[in-house]
Amino acid sequence: MKNLVILGSTGSIGTSALDVVARLGTDYKVLALSANNNTELFLKQLHAFKPRFAAVLNPESYEKIKDQIPAETRLLPPEIDSLCFMASLPTADLVVSGVVGAVGFQPLVAAIKAGKVIALANKEPMVMAGKTLMTECDRWEAAIIPVDSEPSAIFQCLSGIADEYGYHKIEDQISKVFLTASGGPFAKRQGSLSTVTPQEALNHPRWKMGKKITIDSSTLMNKGFEAIEIMNLFNLPEEKVQIVIHPQSIVHSAVEFHDGAILAQMGEPDMRVPIQYAITYPQRLPGPVKKLNLFEAAKLEFFEPDLTRFPCLDLALSAARKGGILPAVLSAADEVAVDAFLKEKIQFTDIQKLIYTVLKAAPQTSGVATINQALEADAWAREAANASLADKTYTQAII
């Protein structure tokens, strides 16, 4: 029996994770669930899976559901400490982190300090202070299995060599990692992207995801985040990570070794595959996803990304090179910018301008950001981004 804690159960990762658990049967049990605003779906999940613990971060959501939860479930207070409590439950075998943004940082730290195995879809903490978090994993004997399709693909390609050498020595064995990206909905769109609407940006050609990650995919910021994530997860320098636009999303990523061999992980673009892999790891069990038919697969295309047309990716790679607190600043500024775009307060191309404005104003630091430094940088960047939104200084940015 494997007991699961799922943080962010009403989002795209959480709902897919519960779908996987329901199909896997009685060997997998949901111990705790958390959500934020989607009370209707959350109540359905609570009554279907009857977890021992539940939490909603939104106080209004808490008031809506507090008298409707199953008798078997204890509803925790609407605060971040409740997520930290669930992430560190002694009886939890796996913590699935599917929350969005920096809100997942402290629960991830709690899970690490409890020595948990973590199925991580919430990439922002790994962007903010990934190297420090991996050091903490070593200290507390915790483990992170990436859930996003492309980092999961790299994890799978490296699993054998990591077992032999450990992630700290992987760099000595490989020459390059190919991190693939679909290119998003605007990869082939001609002309300016300034008139792009939220509805257009949310129409991803390959993946069904939450709103925030879908917008990040349309700007290619998501791929920048993933690049930083895998640099930290696998202890790789930036020059060994090559981003490749692959519109068909069949090759989820690949690893090139020093002898010239390339290992690639391929499959249909369905998030339930990497989610199930993380949940059942190290086993591989039958799943609901259609198998890839190589004879029917479309022609596979690979292109270099256009950093001029999609400067968010360039901003992310620059932050990775400079290090310090800049990745944390990048993550926070992006959250504010994407939220403003979704609320139609700024144009699509203003996302990159706002992020650039905040990064340019950020204090320069060197070395590896500590947990406290990352959290302080996150708070500073949010304040700076909101101030720039208010006085519109971001509109003067020239990238």
Peptide linkage before 286 cis (omega within 30 of 0): no
Q: Which contiguous run of DSSP H or E holds residue 387?
A: helix 371-391
Average pLDDT, the chain: 94
Tokens of 22: 């329901």
Q: Report CA torsion sign: 30, 36, 41, 47.
A: positive
Flag whether 226 is marked binding. Answer: yes
Are 74 and 220 found together in one domain? Answer: no
Flag whether 293 is marked binding. Answer: no
Are 137 and 168 found together in one domain? Answer: no
Are 108 and 166 found together in one domain? Answer: no
Work out the average pLDDT over 189-210: 87
Are 102 and 214 found together in one domain? Answer: no
Work out the average pLDDT over 113-128: 97
Taking the C-alpha atoms of residue 348 and residue 257, their distance in angstroms, rounded to an integer, is 39
Work out the average pLDDT over 89-108: 96
Are 105 and 212 found together in one domain? Answer: no
Domain span including residue 328: 154-396
User: Would you say residue 164 has pLDDT above 60?
Assistant: no
Are 191 and 126 found together in one domain? Answer: no
Tell which of 98, 120, 147 closes a domain.
147
Flag whether 124 is marked binding. Answer: yes
Amino acid at 95: V
Asked whether 296 and 238 are in contact (CB, 8 A), the reply is no
User: Would you say residue 147 has pLDDT above 90?
Assistant: yes
Lookup result for tokens 């002898």: 259
- Nearest 5 degrees, angle CA 298-CA 300-CA 304? 145
Chain mean position to CA 330: 14
User: Would you say residue 71 has pLDDT above 60?
Assistant: yes
Flag whether 169 is marked binding. Answer: no
Strand partners, 244: 180
Taking the C-alpha atoms of residue 286 and residue 125, their distance in angstroms, rounded to an integer, is 31
- Nearest CA to 119 out of 205, 12, 269, 6 is that of 6
What pLDDT, on a 0 to 100 scale, did the predictor assign at position 209? 80
Flag whether 13 is marked binding. Answer: yes
Coil, helix or strand for 3? Answer: strand
Work out the average pLDDT over 199-207: 85
Work out the average pLDDT over 174-181: 96
Q: Which contiguous run of DSSP H or E holds residue 312?
A: helix 311-322
Tell which of 147, 169, 199 closes a domain.
147
Flag whether 149 is marked binding. Answer: yes
Q: What is the pLDDT of residues 25-60, one digit of tens each?
A: 899 999 999 999 999 999 999 999 999 999 999 999
DSSP state of 324: B
Are 236 and 120 found together in one domain? Answer: no
CATH of the domain at 29: 3.40.50.720
Asked whether 6 and 96 are in contact (CB, 8 A), the reply is yes
Flag whether 176 is marked binding. Answer: no
Asked whether 289 and 104 are in contact (CB, 8 A), the reply is no
Number of domains composing the chain: 2
Are 266 and 224 found together in one domain? Answer: yes
What pLDDT, on a 0 to 100 scale, did the predictor assign at position 159? 83
- Burial degree of 52 (CB within 10 A; 0-12, 13-18, 19+): middle
User: Would you say residue 165 has pLDDT above 60?
Assistant: no
Flag whether 38 is marked binding. Answer: yes
CA distances from 28 to 41, 49, 164 (A): 21, 11, 29
Are 324 and 204 found together in one domain? Answer: yes
Flag whether 217 is marked binding. Answer: yes
Flag whether 223 is marked binding. Answer: yes
Lookup result for tokens 């404005």: 357
User: Would you say residue 210 has pLDDT above 90?
Assistant: no
User: Would you say residue 324 has pLDDT above 60?
Assistant: yes
Flag whether 253 is marked binding. Answer: no
CATH of the domain at 355: 1.10.1740.10
Of the two residues 216 and 167, the one the predictor is more confident about is 216
Are 58 and 196 found together in one domain? Answer: no
What pLDDT, on a 0 to 100 scale, did the predictor assign at position 1? 93
Tell which of 132, 147, 162 closes a domain.
147
Are 316 and 373 found together in one domain? Answer: yes
Q: Report CA torsion sign: 244, 245, 251, 252.
A: positive
Are 158 and 142 found together in one domain? Answer: no
User: Would you say residue 190 has pLDDT above 90?
Assistant: no
